[in-house]
Structure 1
């Protein structure tokens, strides 16, 4: 398989195009509803802002541009993500190829990223910002390696652009910048170019790109940092030793979750030449390739930074996706460490290649099976909720497209925005994004339908939603037209149903209250509905 791909220069690109193109097609066909990160992007795309929440805004800006080009739909969401993933694979290929001049080693290093579960599976399941920052890491290392081989000013500009891209994708990219810079300074053949005065170009370009959002983040510091801090410090106790042990365990397990399968596949694949490889490492330590040292020291510095967070006692939680941007270079590092035995042991390289391609097929099948077999797994997911049918019900009952839709949470808001692209969709849990001036302009037009749509997770939640609707629209809620419908979950049988509801006012801008039904989507999500729900 390896030789077949390398036989023609275009075949590797064709393999990536086919694989990620299939992911786009599958995602469009499998469900018209959105998962969590997807719905967040659809909802946030209603505004252009220097910041939205605890994540930087670049991914939302890119997604908004995709919606403007292709219109609202599942396809632009899937397309952006898969383009970024494909570019990540190409960057890793380019890095290893520039370092070794060997296309076979570069191909295996790139395809081996399929052995990292967080990249091969979770990125397709439901990630956004993490996908962008993973691409930024691979691109930054590619630019630094390219600078060593071609010390031209354009690579300094490219490094600045990449740093800006990364910082506007996820805040933890700052660790990547520090780690790459420190690692490069420690390697003589990289140091001379990193300390060149042209590096000022990189700093200026990156500073110009991130300055507007930095100003917003400082002005909204609590909003920008609250989620990250709360996630890191969850289950924090008064005992420093307990916090450290908890954080160290989380860091180690997340790292192993990202890297263990990759390491196991390489060990099995190169089992015949493993002894020779180990002897080579021991006898040629001083002759190690500079790029190998660069990536190795990058890992060491990142690990040290994360351990310092753990030792502070303030970091108790490390999610697998937080390790993904650092782990994306792990297959490239292993390939570089294997060294000349990579191209001498062609059988081993084919084993890695075949494993990666097999995992491609497995992931595609799993992506399809996940929503289709939710009922058999006794666990429905967001993709099973029939939001397109629910939106059609609202359209039919209201008689026109609502001007304003009020929802309890961002997930419902994003799904309904996808179905009603010309409506202003407001989420109660993101009230800081409500633009009062735009809202008043809509209401001032007269005869504008306002709808509150809810999956009615609890009576208390619906009461809060009603109060929120009153606050937003500024009218009493005593004239309501209640509607509720029971829908069968997508890919579920007749026993698998959920109730979604909405309410409207006959005369334009009077506010609407939500519906409570004990058989709501929030109650049902994650568990198979009881058989009694069919009646």
Structure 2
């Protein structure tokens, strides 16, 4: 009887890493970013401060028109690891790593080659809105795109497994995408339409197992859906950013919206498109002699992108949205590097163009590391440095020395969120929170940027039954860590328990 070879866990890991070097690069890259940015950061920016303000509060919905998935994950991580910048970065970069990995494994499950899957994954670093903006500041957009990547992976697995378990996970994957951000609906609809348009996938999607997928999806989103119906003012809080029928111009508004869709789509994928064209041009003498028929998986990726963009086009036409920001296209176009990798493989006889494409993606990723560090530490937004570099430690020390408080109230999440870094027990309250006034419990610190009484903070006081404006308002100048000549005035008052 021949001897049976038994591999140790270490051998298996080394074997997996040697077979999937691109995936290993991605995982090590985001692991490094977690520890590197935690080390150099002084405080949280606007989006991360909002998450700090919500950590620990598991609710079916939150304020600011944002679905809850990203905040749920932060809350769970915060309850386990504590509220810190490390936890915030662990969630963000962990989700980004899972986004890249989901694209890779989804492509492999659909039958695409390892080289195409690797190039399509690493090529995501050529999408500035993901490689740069998602690492620098975005939160819910990260949740939406990651949720769509999970849905893509679940779809690919279900097409291969066709089991009741994979159907349930498909429904949950769709729910995660929609609970990440509502614009994920364009990708989900495109994924379904693309699948139905291809016979081999249509037979699976129209099978009995899809009933379980639909039930799992409905059960997962129902509580948040009911919450949204009961809190429509929070659901619609930021709809003004779409500039629907701007200026009352019915046709001009729609024309402008479609133009922004086209322009930002090109800008979103422009870097990847340019480098894929360069890789093709350099290998034009080595082009494939015959064009084979498009495989089912290749057609699926192409149709997902086409249907998703068509869905946004129709959405702009119906709603009259005059504004379509490039970051909103993350869940729509994150598969564009995978499509470009497919085109490269089909049009050339060797894998060299794909390898060049992946190398450029890796270089873009590495360039982001020092660029992001410089941006966080020294960049200025107009005349002011990064808001995350304010001396929040001094604000906490000064206010805590003047009196006890368990609640911190402000017009926005920036100050309450960052103060939580120094005392996890603080209950933050800001104006965008649903039922914000009812969350205020004295003793409380009321704090805001600028001089004089902030009208939004005063409104929160009145809502909490504090009728008379406080007379003992104090202020403090907070300097920026790397710009000590620059400062921001912060006003505050501590109201004791009654």
Q: Same fold (TM over 0.5)?
A: yes
**Which residue pairs with 2:109 in the alignment?**
98
How far, CA to CA, are the matches of 2:218 and 2:380 in structure 1?
Answer: 50
Aligned to 1:70: 81
- Distance in 2, Cα, partners of 1:268 & 1:226: 44
Q: How far 1:100 sits from its partner (Å)?
A: 3.9
Task: Supply the distance in 2 between the matched residues of 1:199 and 1:422 (Cα, whole angstroms).
Answer: 45
**Quick one: structure 1 residues 473 and 190, their matched pair in 2 at CA, closer, same or farther if it must change by over 3 Å?**
same
Partner of 1:297: 303
CA shift, 1:503, in A, is 2.3
Aligned residue number for residue 344 of structure 2: 338
Structure 1 position 99, deviation (Å): 3.5
Equivalent residues of 2:448, 2:491 under 8 A apart: yes
Residue 418 of structure 1 pairs with residue 427 of structure 2? no
**Which residue is 1:360 aligned to?**
365
Shift of 1:73: 0.7
Measure the CA separation in 1 of the matches of 2:436 and 2:250: 41
| 3-state SS of 1:453 partner | strand
Q: Structure 1 residue aligned with 2:434, among 432, 435, 440?
A: 432
Question: 2:144 touches 2:177 (CA, 8 Å); kept in 1?
Answer: yes
Q: Give the match for residue 261 of structure 1.
A: 271
C-alpha contact 1:270 1:345 (8 A) present in aligned 2: no
Say whether residues 1:388 and 2:398 are aligned partners. Answer: no
In structure 2, how many angstroms separate the alpha carbons of the residues matched to 1:424 and 1:6?
A: 45
Q: Distance in 1 between matches of 2:264 and 2:143?
A: 20
Partner residue of 1:288 out of 279, 287, 294:
294
Superposed displacement of residue 359, structure 1: 1.0
Residue ranges of structure 2 left out of the alignment (5+ in a row): 1-13
Q: After TM superposition, give the deviation of residue 378 of structure 1 in Å.
A: 4.7
Looking at structure 2, the residues matched to 332 and 346 of structure 1 have their Cα atoms a distance apart, in angstroms, of 14
Flag the 1:485–1:86 CA change in 2: closer, same or farther, 3 A: same
User: Is the 8 Å Cα contact of residues 56 and 78 (structure 2) preserved in structure 1?
Assistant: no
1:226 to partner: Cα distance: 3.8
Q: Distance in 2 between matches of 1:279 and 1:260?
A: 28
Q: Assess, with a 3 A threshold, how the Cα gap between structure 1 residues 466 and 377 changes in structure 2: closer, same or farther.
A: closer
Residue 101 of structure 1: CA displacement? Answer: 5.3
Aligned match of 2:173: 162
Cα offset for 1:23?
A: 1.2
2:151 aligned with 1:140, yes or no?
yes
Q: What is the TM-score of this pair, normalised by structure 2?
A: 0.90
1:247–1:317 Cα contact (<8 Å) kept? yes
Deviations along 1:486-520, one digit per CA (max 9) or x if unpaired, are 23211114x22233232235xx236xxxxxxxxxx
Conserved in 1, the CA contact under 8 Å of 2:163 and 2:209?
no
Q: Structure 1 residues 51 and 377, CA, compared in 2 at 3 Å: closer, same or farther?
A: closer
Residue 328 of structure 2 corresponds to 322
Shift of 1:202: 0.3
Give the number of aligned pairs. Answer: 484
Q: Is the 8 A contact 2:103 2:149 kept in 1?
A: yes
* Partner SS for 1:485: strand
Determine the C-alpha separation between the residues in 1 that align with 2:382 and 2:226.
47
In structure 2, how many angstroms separate the alpha carbons of the residues matched to 1:385 and 1:106? Answer: 42
- Give the corresponding residue for 2:31: 21
Question: How big is the shift at 1:275?
Answer: 7.1
Shift of 1:469: 2.6
Q: Is the Cα–Cα contact under 8 Å of residues 454 and 502 in structure 1 kept in the other structure?
A: yes
Decide which moves more: 310-319 or 57-66: 310-319
Of stretches 482-491 and 240-249 in structure 1, the one that deviates more from structure 2 is 482-491
Tell me: CA distance 1:112–1:215, structure 2 relative to 1, closer, same or farther (3 Å).
same
Are 1:455 and 2:445 counterparts? no
Q: CA deviation at 1:305?
A: 1.4
The CA RMSD measured in Å over matched residues stands at: 2.6
* Partner SS for 1:174: helix
- Quick check: 1:255–1:323 contact (8 Å CA) kept in 2? yes
Query: What aligned pairs does 1:92-241 form with structure 2 within 5 A after superposition?
Result: 92-100=103-111, 102-228=113-239, 230-233=240-243, 236-241=246-251
Contiguous gaps of at least 5 residues in structure 1: 444-448, 511-535
CA separation of 1:509 and 1:68: change in aligned 2, threshold 3 A? same
Measure, in 1, the Cα distance between the counterparts of 2:288 and 2:256: 34
3-state SS in 2 of match to 1:503: strand
Higher RCO (Cα < 8 Å, 6 or more apart): 2
Q: Residue 129 of structure 2 contacts residue 330 of structure 2 at CA under 8 Å; is this kept in 1?
A: yes
